[in-house]
């Protein structure tokens, strides 16, 4: 009984952390799928310009809990793959303002992850005036 109560408390604390992170950043992580050699995160970034749905995959499967992969690559060597999940009808306005690099699949090293996220957040939050002709 004690173990399950502690596990429930830890789960509640993890959820509180996730909720605060989401409130502060607008990033919602819907799910994580562990596949052979990679972790795929289904994400939604919200902001004043709409909602961006995308997948982020850590291609080599290196994670903080598994610092070495079967191929010997380290946590720092992990490659990220970004896959936008854009829908013409749902994302019509967003497609007008997204930079090309966020409208197509891209890969980048882990040490660029913070820069990538800063650009996603900036794009979703900056005030954009669309001039219609």
Query: Is a pLDDT exceeding 90 seen at residue 113?
Result: yes
Residue count (the chain): 133
Sheet holding 27-35, edge to edge: 27-35, 38-47, 50-58, 79-84, 106-109
For residue 28, what are the contacts with CB-CB under 8 A and spacing of at least 6?
Answer: 22, 43, 44, 45, 46
CATH number given to 26-125? 3.90.1150.80
What is each CA distance from 128 to 35, 99, 109, in whole angstroms? 38, 12, 29
Q: Which of 25-39, 59-73, 109-123 has the lowest mean pLDDT?
A: 59-73
Give CA–CA dist 53/100, Å, rounded.
15
Mean pLDDT of the region 110-121: 95
pLDDT in tens, 52-94: 999 999 976 445 555 555 555 677 788 999 999 999 999 998 9
Cα atoms found within 13 Å of the Cα of residue 104, Cβ hemisphere only: 4
Query: Is a pLDDT exceeding 90 seen at residue 117?
Result: yes
């Amino acid at each position: 009984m004690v173990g399950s109560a502690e596990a429930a408390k830890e789960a509640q604390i993890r959820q509180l952390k996730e909720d605060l992170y989401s409130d502060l950043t607008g990033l919602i992580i819907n799910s994580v799928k562990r596949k052979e050699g990679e972790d795929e995160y289904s994400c939604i970034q919200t902001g004043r310009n709409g909602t961006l749905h995308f997948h982020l995959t850590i291609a080599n499967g290196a994670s903080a809990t598994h610092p070495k992969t079967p191929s010997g690559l380290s946590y720092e060597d992990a490659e990220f793959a970004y896959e936008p999940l854009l829908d013409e009808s749902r994302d019509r306005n967003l497609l007008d303002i997204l930079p090309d690099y966020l409208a197509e699949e891209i890969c980048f090293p882990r040490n660029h992850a913070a820069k990538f996220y800063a650009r996603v957040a900036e794009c979703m939050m900056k005030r954009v005036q669309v001039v219609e002709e």
